[in-house]
């Protein structure tokens, strides 16, 4: 007898398949019962992220804090930030760097164009100002222009004010390039117009804020004493004062120059004038007199715009001063307490704060909006932000050991002075 192995094999195979199907069916039923009982476990297997999002946490009122990020220029117009002392803080790393370059902005003066002049290091560009107790939104050029539609601004003072005006123009130029519509005969006072917003920004050269006759060249070398009238406001800013919606007024280091002082058109004394047979009154006398006179005018003017009085800025000359070989070789910000304010800078600032306090006690009664911009500490820790030898083009191209005049008073653009605009915008927006 022959056994049909194919038939037996086929029957056995069918039998195994039937058993396997029954086992799978029973396992499927058991698994469904298991899933029905532990619903959450099955959902977690399918999409653990989705399940976690669906878990409701207790409701917490969202904070008003505005975080600083690379996209912080895009903060919405209705954001309200915290109130804090904007002038006390630290410089922290800023990987995103400045919002403009020397190539994108045509308004940088050659003496402050550190990148064009060949400064080899760029680390000074990658820091931002962070107040201790709150976040400070980055300057939003588009928002500023919208808020300042049909307004008039003026930055009134010395070359630091001009330095600041160029910084502000560069930041606003990322949205729209302004048109220069005025320049005085000395090319020191200028005015620009942002046509799409009908905004004018003026830089008014008035280093003393009062009437003065000066005799010096572009490098600050004087050929005679300044003739300074302590009781006559400079008409260059006085004439446009009523038409301004916003202004920043400042002065400072020019009062350290040799000068002859006039009051009521009579010479009353001087500062650094040997051989003139005049009373040596000193720069403190003149600075107090001038600021008191300026503040007295402001507080009684009933001006309806915002007036910002800025303190003078520190310099970082080492081993000398502007005229005798001083330098500023630092390439990184100083830590808190590492740099001490110089005695002369401290004297100027103390007089500024004293006269501002006297005026601020009365301006509110006269409905004048006067605020203080005390940037002294903000820039004291930035000895790395000056042009130094790069106030001129390629200073070491012919001689790597050349003796070059350094600028340790003004600020590279772009550079630390840009963050003045962050603070000013916060004051303008949130008061």
C-alpha 106/C-alpha 374 separation (Å) is 28
- Asked whether 107 and 173 are in contact (CB, 8 A), the reply is yes
Q: Name the catalytic one among 158, 315, 407, 422.
A: 407
- The top-level CATH class assigned to 72-430 is alpha beta
Does 159 qualify as catalytic in the annotation? yes
- Asked whether 134 and 84 are in contact (CB, 8 A), the reply is yes
Which is it for the CA torsion 91, 250, 204, 148, positive or negative? positive
Query: Would you call 37 helix, strand, or coil by DSSP?
Result: helix
From first to last of its 431 residues, what are the pLDDT tens digits of the chain?
444 433 434 444 444 444 545 445 544 544 443 334 333 333 332 333 333 333 233 322 332 323 333 334 333 444 444 578 999 999 999 999 999 999 999 999 999 999 999 999 999 999 999 999 899 999 999 999 999 999 999 999 999 999 999 999 999 999 999 999 999 998 999 999 999 999 999 999 999 999 999 998 776 678 899 999 999 999 999 999 999 999 999 999 999 999 999 999 999 999 999 999 999 999 999 999 999 999 999 999 999 999 999 999 999 999 999 889 999 999 999 987 899 999 999 999 999 999 999 999 889 888 999 999 999 999 999 999 999 999 999 999 999 999 999 999 999 999 999 999 999 999 999 87
- Asked whether 359 and 378 are in contact (CB, 8 A), the reply is no
Query: Would you call 169 helix, strand, or coil by DSSP?
Result: helix
Q: What is the pLDDT of residue 337?
A: 83
C-alpha 108/C-alpha 121 separation (Å) is 19
C-alpha 45/C-alpha 23 separation (Å) is 24
Q: For the segment 41-65, what is each residue's pLDDT rounded down to a tens digit? A: 333 323 333 333 332 333 223 323 2
DSSP 136-157: -PPP-HHHHHHHTTT-EEEEEE
Q: What are the two backbone dihedrals, phi and then psi, of residue 7, each rounded to the nearest 5 degrees?
A: -65, -45
List the one residue out of 291, 276, 268 whose CA is nearest residue 355.
291
Q: What is the pLDDT of residue 36?
A: 40
Torsion of CA 351, 352, 353, 354, to 10 degrees: 50
* Helix H or strand E encompassing 309: strand 306-310
Does 374 qualify as catalytic in the annotation? no
Q: What is the pLDDT of residue 52?
A: 31
Starting at the edge strand found earlier in the chain, the sheet holding 152-157 runs: 179-183, 190-194, 199-205, 152-157, 246-249, 306-310, 369-373
Does 206 qualify as catalytic in the annotation? no
Q: Name the catalytic one among 164, 189, 410, 418.
A: 410
DSSP 360-418: HHHHTTTT-EEEEE--HHHHHT-GGGS-BGGGSSSTTSS-TT-----B-SS--SSSGGG
C-alpha 378/C-alpha 318 separation (Å) is 19
Helix then strand count (H, E) for the chain reads 10, 13
Q: What is the pLDDT of residue 286?
A: 98
Question: What global pTM score does this model have?
Answer: 0.81
- Asked whether 75 and 65 are in contact (CB, 8 A), the reply is no
Q: Where are the domains of the chain?
A: 5-54, 72-430
Alpha helices in 173-276 (DSSP H): 235-238
Query: How far are the Cα atoms of 254, 346, 405 from residue 207, in angstroms, in the given order?
Result: 6, 19, 22
**Interstrand relation of 226-233 and 127-131 (parallel, antiparallel or unpaired):** unpaired
Q: Name the catalytic one among 159, 202, 312, 381.
A: 159
Reading the block at residue 183, the tokens are: 């320049």
C-alpha 26/C-alpha 23 separation (Å) is 5
Torsion of CA 195, 196, 197, 202, to 10 degrees: -20
Q: For the segment 247-300, what is each residue's pLDDT rounded down to a tens digit? A: 999 999 999 999 999 999 999 999 999 999 999 999 999 999 999 999 999 999
Query: How far are the Cα atoms of 32, 34, 37, 46, 191 from residue 28, in angstroms, in the given order?
Result: 6, 10, 14, 18, 83
Reading the block at residue 398, the tokens are: 């012919």
C-alpha 410/C-alpha 423 separation (Å) is 19
* Helix H or strand E encompassing 422: helix 419-430
Q: What is the pLDDT of residue 297?
A: 97
C-alpha 85/C-alpha 22 separation (Å) is 77
- Asked whether 125 and 414 are in contact (CB, 8 A), the reply is yes
Q: What is the pLDDT of residue 18?
A: 44
């Amino acid at each position: 007898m022959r056994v049909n192995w194919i038939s037996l094999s086929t029957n056995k195979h069918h039998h195994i398949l039937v058993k396997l199907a029954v086992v799978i069916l029973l396992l499927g039923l058991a698994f469904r019962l298991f899933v029905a009982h532990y619903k959450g476990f099955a959902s977690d297997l399918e999409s653990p992220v989705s399940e976690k999002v669906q878990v409701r946490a207790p409701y917490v009122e969202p904070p008003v804090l505005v975080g600083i990020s690379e996209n912080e220029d895009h903060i919405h117009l209705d954001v309200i930030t915290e109130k804090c002392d904007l002038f006390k803080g630290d410089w922290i790393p800023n990987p995103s760097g400045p919002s403009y370059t020397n190539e994108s902005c045509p308004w940088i003066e050659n003496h402050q164009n550190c990148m064009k002049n060949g400064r080899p290091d760029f680390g000074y560009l990658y820091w931002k100002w962070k107040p201790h107790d709150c976040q400070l939104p980055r300057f939003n050029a588009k928002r500023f222009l919208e808020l300042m539609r049909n307004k008039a601004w003026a930055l009134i003072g010395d070359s630091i004010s001009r330095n600041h005006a160029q910084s502000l123009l560069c930041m606003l130029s990322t949205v729209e390039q302004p048109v220069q519509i005025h320049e005085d005969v000395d090319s020191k006072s200028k005015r620009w117009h942002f046509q799409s917003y009908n905004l004018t920004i003026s830089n008014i050269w008035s280093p003393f804020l009062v009437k003065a006759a000066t005799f010096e060249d572009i490098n600050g070398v004087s050929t005679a004493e300044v003739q300074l009238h302590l009781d006559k406001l400079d008409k260059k800013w006085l004439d446009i004062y009523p038409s301004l919606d916003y202004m920043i007024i400042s002065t400072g280091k020019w009062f350290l120059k040799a000068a002859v002082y006039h009051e009521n058109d009579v010479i009353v004394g001087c500062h650094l004038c040997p051989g003139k047979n005049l009373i040596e009154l000193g720069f403190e006398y003149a600075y107090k007199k001038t600021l008191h006179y300026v503040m007295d005018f402001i507080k009684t003017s009933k001006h309806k715009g915002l007036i910002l009085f800025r303190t003078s800025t520190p310099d970082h000359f080492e081993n000398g001063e502007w005229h005798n070989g001083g330098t500023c070789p630092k390439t990184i910000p100083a830590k808190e307490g590492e740099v001490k304010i110089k005695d002369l800078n401290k004297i100027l600032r103390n007089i500024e704060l004293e006269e501002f306090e006297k005026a601020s006690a009365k301006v509110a009664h006269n409905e004048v909006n006067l605020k203080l911009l005390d940037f002294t500490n903000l820039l004291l820790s930035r000895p790395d932000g000056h042009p130094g030898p790069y106030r001129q083009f390629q200073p070491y191209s012919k001689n790597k050991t050349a003796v070059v005049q350094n600028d340790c008073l003004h600020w590279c653009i772009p550079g630390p002075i840009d963050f003045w605009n962050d603070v000013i915008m916060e004051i303008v927006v949130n008061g």
